[in-house]
A and B are shown apart, each in its own frame.
Chain A
Amino acid sequence: MTGRATKNLRATLLLAPLLLFSAVFFIWPLMTMMSQAVSDTAVLRILPETAKAANSWDGRSAPTPELKAALVKDLKQATDTQATGDMVRRLNSAQSGFRTLMSKTLSAINGNDPLPSLEQIDPRWQNPEFWRAITGALSPTTDRHLLAAVDLTRDASGRIVEMPPEASANRTIMLRTFWIAALVTLACTVIGFPYAMLIATCNGWKRQVLLAAVLLPLWTSLLVRTAAWFIILQEKGLINEILEGLGLINGPLPLIFNRTGVIIAMTHVLLPFMVLPIYSVLISIPKTLMPAAASLGAHPIRAFLRVLLPLSLRGVASGALLVFMSAIGYYITPALIGGPGDQMISSVIAFYATGSANWSMAGALGLVLLVATIALYSVYARLAAEDPRRA
């Protein structure tokens, strides 16, 4: 083996734990979730013969005898009760009534010999709508979860239409998620920028103390910090007690189980991600620029607006990106501090994933969130792209 090949092998081996880790714990689950969002094999798995026969049916007239025979044959061979249950759930979500229809049909098929015709078991089998629900569910991939994630669906003719407003609120929750994230980003910028400037102008132990004040919360668990806010923000909590004690308010301020509380707690948790990038940019700005601006006749405020602010925008942009991206995925804080109207998209995903075991829907919402995030990031990357000034 040549020396170069040995070197390459060594480098690969050093990277192997990382590659393995990210493949197993990141890429694979991500791919699985994403494929869950578009895969739809629950029906196809149980009804392979029906799928073949469905090609010769036009979808409007009464179902052909071959189609009916194929369905009966498939149902007879369906022994896996869990897979059958998945199929029934899938069909029922496309056309309500399938649950009773299928249980009736299955018990009739398994009990009787010779078989009665499907119409005899249940007259609903004459209705092409039920057959359309089956043939519509036979494709191995589907866009219905993705459409549902943004409150869209397909009507009987297959066109994409808006869902009825009472059926789903994903779009509202998605917009609310972005709105809360934007408010938190704004709050972090307004608080974080002056604070970062303060750290950058201090020296020695003062700087260390100010930095520690930012970093210490960062080293504390998110859950602990949220729980602390849960206590502090209560009606009889620290803030209300102090304000009432000072006589500034008469009744307690509503700080918990509403938007205010969520934004306060999330701003506190995410503030370090705003302060640190701005601080690191600020300390890289030469110390003489502000004196230079002053000597050239700039009032301190104008010097700040024309020199320091534009130069630190890069840090503000990275900080805003970090805060916004993290805020979009927040789950624990809105769940504990927020009210029902403050739940963000993560709690909807959690509901589908753990509450109703609808992995496809959870995957689809996750995918939409991922796409929105990547789109935002690419806008940021475009804005922060190659700047000749930093050549």
Chain B
Amino acid sequence: MSEPRICFDHISKSYGPLCVVDNLDLDIAKGEFVSLLGPSGSGKTTLLMMLAGFENPTQGTILVDGEPVNNVPTHRRDMGVVFQNYALFPHMSVAENVAFPLQMRGVSKAGITERVTRALDMVQLSAMRDRWPAQLSGGQQQRVALARALVFEPRVVLMDEPLGALDKHLREQMQLDIRALHNRLELTIVFVTHDQSEALTMSDRIAVFNKGKIEQIGTPREIYDHPRTRFVAEFIGETNLLQGTIESVDGSQGLIRLQNGGQLSATLADVMPRGQQVFVSIRPERIELKETKTGMNSFAANVIDSVYQGDHLRVQLDGNGNNVVARLGRKSREWPIGANVVAEFQSSDCWIIAS
């Protein structure tokens, strides 16, 4: 990787005794879409605010294209920010809002007209150019905010939960739209969200935040399939955590003796010694239910509950204290409550997490 577009170098931010961002390092490459994902208060928004220049880090340096920007005021950082509440100027029309950053940069009148038209075409709002923001729907306002943040071709686009106020359907549409814009314009985007499915849909990489630190950073696939910590496993999607001890290690495979009886073979992310207390994370959709045992990784269980969810069945199982949830596709067989079944899973779908 060449020089990163953005580099957070040992960044800390405290408000009095409260440490919000704790000695954090993060590199973001040019053209990358990175989501900062975490619960509220985990420091993700503060990090974004420091990058935009609204807050100053207590410690550490922020570099953009190799240049420290700690002392560069916001208006000279050349970053487009999209806010959760859109922050459109209510006294300016849609076109005036989009023209604002160009006017601030002394672009010629003709240049402004042309680029505003192009930006509004890009978000399909050309017909609304003379409306006031208050006359637009939430989704339209968000698209204006997007056009305004992109029209001056900033080095980085920062988005602070930009889709939080939209309804589900619109949100999903906007996710794909932003994703498409990112691919087409080769934008570098830093996207803050607390919605894990949003992060999975849109990002090249996801940084999972917890208590001012990054718990794990990786592609959506890595984060979802191979969570490194219990927090990540539980925060991203739904998972079953089974407690146990490492009995033996063979390469990347470990044999785990479960606390509630039984043993299973699982995949190791890091080197771990024998006897270590661990969790095994199994995603509900990776569990199969069978009548009789066919593979190595399985345990007998009893169906406690089965709930129809439209696209899947959610089945609650009791396997002698190993309580797990399975998510069955619509093509699989339906099991009555009380049925005795065998829950089976691949060892590659069992992921070992240090406890």
A residues bordering B, Cβ < 8 Å?
286, 288-289, 291-300, 302-303, 306-307, 310-311, 388-391
Contacts and interface: CB of A to CB of B under 8 A. Distances in A.
A306 B76 CA distance: 17
B135 interface: yes
A294 B75 contact: yes
Interface stretch (B81-89, B177-185, B260-268, B303-311): B81-89
A390 B53 CA distance: 30
B105 interface: yes
A124 B149 CA distance: 91
B333 interface: no
Contacts of B78: 297
A388 B132 contact: yes
Nearest to A298: B104
B81 A295 contact: yes
From B54, B76, B79, B91, residue with most partner A Cβ within 10 Å: B91
B91 A310 contact: yes
Contacts of B87: 286, 288-289, 291-292
A122 to B, nearest CB: 75
B104 A296 contact: yes
Contact of B132 (A298, A303, A306, A391): A391
A302 B104 contact: yes
Contacts of B132: 388-389, 391
From B78, B81, B89, residue with most partner A Cβ within 10 Å: B89
B299 interface: no
A388 B81 contact: no
Interface string B134-161: 1100000000000011001000001000
Interface of B: 52-54, 73-81, 83, 85, 87, 89-91, 100-101, 104-105, 132-135, 148-149, 152, 158
B81 A297 contact: no
Given A292-B81, A388-B135, A297 B105 contact: yes
B101 A296 contact: yes
24 contacts: A286-B85, A288-B85, A289-B87, A291-B87, A294-B53, A295-B52, A295-B77, A295-B79, A295-B80, A295-B81, A296-B75, A296-B80, A297-B75, A297-B78, A297-B101, A297-B104, A298-B75, A303-B75, A306-B100, A310-B91, A311-B89, A388-B132, A388-B135, A390-B90
Given A294-B74, A296-B152, A391 B134 contact: yes
A390 B74 CA distance: 29
A305 to B, nearest CB: 12
Nearest to B90: A389
A292 B83 contact: yes
Nearest to B133: A389
Contacts of B134: 388-391
A288 B91 CA distance: 15
A294 B100 contact: no
A299 B104 CA distance: 8
Nearest to A289: B87
Contacts of B75: 294-300, 303
Given A289-B89, A291-B74, 20 more contacts: A286-B87, A288-B83, A289-B87, A291-B81, A292-B83, A292-B89, A294-B74, A295-B53, A296-B80, A296-B101, A296-B104, A296-B148, A296-B149, A296-B152, A297-B76, A298-B100, A302-B104, A310-B91, A311-B91, A389-B133
Contact of B54 (A289, A291, A389, A391): A291
A311 B92 CA distance: 10
A291 B76 CA distance: 12
Contacts of A286: 85, 87
Nearest to B75: A294
B89 A307 contact: yes
Nearest to B74: A294
B100 to A, nearest CB: 6
Nearest to A288: B87
A298 B81 CA distance: 13
Contacts of B73: 294
A288 B149 CA distance: 14
